[in-house]
Amino acid sequence: MPHNDFRHSLAQQLRVDSVRASDAGGSGHPTSSMSAADLMAVLLDGYLKLDYAHPDNPANDHLVFSKGHASPLYYAMLKAVGAVGDDELLSFRSFGSRLEGHPTPRIPPTDVATGSLGQGLPVGVGLALAGKRLDGLPYRVWVLCGDSEMAEGSIWEAFQHAGWAGLDNLTAIIDVNRLGQTRETMLGWDVDGYVARCEAFGWKAIPVDGHDLDDIDAALSQAVSVTDRPSVIIARTCKGRGVAAVENQPGKHGKPLEDPAGAVSELGGNHSVSVQVKTPAPGTPRRFATVGGSLPRWEIGEEIATRQAYGEALTELGGLRGDVVVLDGEVSNSTMSALFAKAHPERYFEMFIAEQQMVAAAVGLQARGWVPFVSTFGAFLTRAHDFIRMAAVSRADLRLCGSHAGVSIGEDGPSQMALEDVSMFRSIHGSTVLHPSDANQTAALVAEMATLPGISYVRTLRGRTPVRTSPEENIRVGGSRVLFNSDDDDLTIVACGITVGEAEKAAEVLDAEGVRARVIDCYSIKPIDRPTLVDAAAQTRAVLTVEDHWLEGGLGDAVLDALAECADRPPVRKLAVTEMPVSGKPGELLHAAHIDAEAIVEAARQLVKA
């Protein structure tokens, strides 16, 4: 069979299986699959080097479907390479199937979940960075993008970073089928417009007729030969290609075909077409030597910012573990990841002010087995919320550090204050949320984060705090630290981060008044130390939480949750930030927000009197 005959058969069968899977599932995006079938057929037959029988082969190429809604095509490809059978293909979107509505890592060799548009390409940048800078392997990263998602800024963060980094092991394929969900895209079939944009960002752009097999072959061949920069194939295609009833028709997005049997027939019928994908040359990823080191320790009473402790601990961790890598959003001298960058420059990634690309790159790096720590101001991690959410769907192990928590940063004002970060991270599936109050706590928790599955977050402070915790103390995820307690405590004060010092001061004032306060430093907000809180609630007459965060979703809500099922718990009052802060000195702002020692004392008096 001449080469193109086979590729045509393969492409048609990918379309047939896209139609069949969507029909079986009762929903899905067959037309968005059909436009890219020719592109994927040629990719499978000749260019992709992926050992589907051994998805963990470290030399494998990576294929990311950034247009995750083209999952029927993706699964049809898995069938063509023998990774799934026809029965499983037809389980598409049914409960229990590995073939979900949008791809997830539940079906190998899928690296990451897609389906929120504009994320696959930035993750691909992370995979390509791993290949170039860490693994030292010649694998290629292929990313299939839709044209609608070219409107997402995150796509251009990826273009910018990959161009800057010269990632010639990255090839994007844009399926320019012109039609979005409700209308024509901004650029329609303006292939030249895409070429100009991509070239301006430093990529080699290759326009192509996405249904001409020779043209596609030439484009892929050219793409893999580009050196010093990433390549992008801009393919003019027709949505629904191959079935007249839907081809290039508006209103045919995201639904099964009305006449699937007729469509299969029009496509040439349902056949068994299998393709032998190339396997990569064997290769072993580079690993960095562990050069040793020991976690930093500070003496009780030293004054040091937890962000400084983060940087120092991370640097030592880098010596102890060769798999730790660090990314920062061009604020490394604020988050203090700059210390790691100086000690381990080969494992530091400057991601500039592009938080979405930063998190996506980390997701890509962890998919290759690395242990990324990501840092910027906590406030700016909100920029990457959708990426962090999707990282959880990707079952990614990711460590994030948000510095400059709360009003305690002072003069910079509310735009720079993380006041919603704890809420955001608590509601990420499977997350861990930590907010140490001193340097020794920070070091212990940062070290533990390296071993945690899922998304973990540590929140650090701009200003210095006194070291209260001995370096010998058992600080751990899920733990807490009781500063003061007695058998006849009147009330419990639960604090974290900057408010621990305020609670400590308040307890001293209250003690002078004959009111005994138990003070709990709740440095682990999720999981939270429920037994300690439940005991405290049972043993005191009121619980007061105090945090430098909005009233909603933070420490106070976490404490309420821990005590939810206690029938006889005493009243709980939450002190938190409730008015929009302004600029000022840290102490002025803590006072204005009613989360300083004075506010704690006043609330405690009311609660105990009640």
Q: Could you list the active site residues? A: 355
For the CB of residue 462, give the shortest distance to a second copy in the complex, in Å: 11
* Window of 58-66, 309-317, 376-384, 501-509 that interacts with a second copy by CB under 8 A: 376-384
Task: Count CB atoms within 10 A of the CB of residue 225.
Answer: 10
Whole-number Å distance between alpha carbons of 490 and 607: 10
Per CB under 8 A, the list member of 51, 323, 350, 511 interacting with a second copy is: 350
Q: How much is the CA Rg of the chain, to the nearest whole Å?
A: 27
Scanning residues 543 to 602, which ones bind a second copy (CB under 8 A)? 550-554, 556-558, 560-561, 564-568, 570-574, 580, 582-585, 588-589, 592
Scanning residues 155 to 184, which ones bind a second copy (CB under 8 A)? 155-157, 160-161, 164, 180-183
The residue among 13 and 185 lying less far from a second copy, judged by its C-beta, is 185
Per CB under 8 A, the list member of 310, 380, 457, 523 interacting with a second copy is: 380
The residue among 347 and 526 lying less far from a second copy, judged by its C-beta, is 526
For the CB of residue 299, give the shortest distance to a second copy in the complex, in Å: 29
Per CB under 8 A, the list member of 86, 214, 303, 412 interacting with a second copy is: 412
The residue among 272 and 415 lying less far from a second copy, judged by its C-beta, is 415
Q: What is the 3-state secondary structure (H, E, C) of 250-318?
A: CCCCCCCCCCHHHHHHHCCCCCCCCCCCECCCCCCCCCCCCCCCCCCCCCCCCEEEHHHHHHHHHHHHH
Per CB under 8 A, the list member of 94, 290, 451, 470 interacting with a second copy is: 94
Q: Is the peptide bond before 414 cis (omega within 30 degrees of 0)?
A: no
Region of 594 on the Ramachandran plot (φ > 0 left; ψ -120 to 50 alpha; else beta): left
| C-alpha separations of 602 from 389, 540, 545, 597 in Å | 39, 17, 13, 9
Tell me: does residue 364 bind a second copy (CB under 8 A).
no
Q: What share of the chain is helix, strand, coil (3-state, %, to 5)?
A: 40, 15, 40
The count of residues in the chain is 610
Task: Count CB atoms within 10 A of the CB of residue 336.
Answer: 26
Whole-number Å distance between alpha carbons of 155 and 173: 13
- Evaluate the CA torsion angle 212, 215, 217, 220 in order and state its sign: negative
Tell me: does residue 392 bind a second copy (CB under 8 A).
yes
What number of helices (H) and strands (E) belong to the chain? Answer: 23, 19
Per CB under 8 A, the list member of 346, 415, 474, 488 interacting with a second copy is: 415
Tell me: does residue 219 bind a second copy (CB under 8 A).
no
Tell me: does residue 269 bind a second copy (CB under 8 A).
no
Strand ranges (E), 22-134: 62-65
Tell me: does residue 393 bind a second copy (CB under 8 A).
yes
Tell me: does residue 535 bind a second copy (CB under 8 A).
no
Tell me: does residue 470 bind a second copy (CB under 8 A).
no
Query: Binding residues for a second copy, how many (CB under 8 A)?
Result: 114
Per CB under 8 A, the list member of 45, 152, 397, 596 interacting with a second copy is: 152
Whole-number Å distance between alpha carbons of 48 and 278: 6
The residue among 273 and 603 lying less far from a second copy, judged by its C-beta, is 603
The residue among 273 and 351 lying less far from a second copy, judged by its C-beta, is 351
Scanning residues 486 to 525, which ones bind a second copy (CB under 8 A)? none
The residue among 164 and 227 lying less far from a second copy, judged by its C-beta, is 164
For the CB of residue 584, give the shortest distance to a second copy in the complex, in Å: 3
Per CB under 8 A, the list member of 17, 23, 38, 149 interacting with a second copy is: 149
Whole-number Å distance between alpha carbons of 447 and 454: 15
The residue among 181 and 276 lying less far from a second copy, judged by its C-beta, is 181
Per CB under 8 A, the list member of 386, 508, 511, 598 interacting with a second copy is: 386
For the CB of residue 173, give the shortest distance to a second copy in the complex, in Å: 18
Task: Count CB atoms within 10 A of the CB of residue 574.
Answer: 20
* Window of 90-98, 486-494, 504-512, 513-521 that interacts with a second copy by CB under 8 A: 90-98
The residue among 94 and 290 lying less far from a second copy, judged by its C-beta, is 94
Decide if 485 contacts 493 (C-beta within 8 A).
Answer: no
**Centroid of chain to Cα 595:** 32
Decide if 50 contacts 82 (C-beta within 8 A).
Answer: no
For the CB of residue 473, give the shortest distance to a second copy in the complex, in Å: 28
Decide if 267 contacts 242 (C-beta within 8 A).
Answer: yes
Whole-number Å distance between alpha carbons of 155 and 150: 6
Per CB under 8 A, the list member of 371, 398, 419, 450 interacting with a second copy is: 419
Per CB under 8 A, the list member of 51, 88, 199, 212 interacting with a second copy is: 199
Binding mask 105-144 for a second copy (x = CB under 8 A): -x------xxxxxx--------------------------
Query: DSSP secondary structure string, 396-408?
Result: --EEEEEESBSGG
Task: Count CB atoms within 10 A of the CB of residue 127.
Answer: 30
For the CB of residue 104, give the shortest distance to a second copy in the complex, in Å: 7
Scanning residues 25 to 64, which ones bind a second copy (CB under 8 A)? 25-28
DSSP state of 416: G
Paired with 446 in beta bridges are none
Tell me: does residue 96 bind a second copy (CB under 8 A).
yes
Per CB under 8 A, the list member of 288, 352, 466, 539 interacting with a second copy is: 352
Decide if 171 contacts 204 (C-beta within 8 A).
Answer: no
**Centroid of chain to Cα 43:** 28
- Residue 523 exposure: Cα atoms within 13 Å on the Cβ side: 27
DSSP state of 203: P
* Window of 237-245, 348-356, 445-453, 532-540 that interacts with a second copy by CB under 8 A: 348-356
Tell me: does residue 188 bind a second copy (CB under 8 A).
no
* Window of 216-224, 399-407, 409-417, 488-496 that interacts with a second copy by CB under 8 A: 409-417
Question: Which tokens sit at 266?
Answer: 């029009």
Question: Which tokens sit at 160?
Answer: 């910018």
For the CB of residue 122, give the shortest distance to a second copy in the complex, in Å: 9
The residue among 275 and 533 lying less far from a second copy, judged by its C-beta, is 533
Whole-number Å distance between alpha carbons of 568 and 307: 39
Tell me: does residue 229 bind a second copy (CB under 8 A).
no
Scanning residues 425 to 464, which ones bind a second copy (CB under 8 A)? 426-430
- The pair phi, psi for residue 265, each rounded to 5°, is -65, -45
Scanning residues 294 to 333, which ones bind a second copy (CB under 8 A)? 330-333
For the CB of residue 554, give the shortest distance to a second copy in the complex, in Å: 8
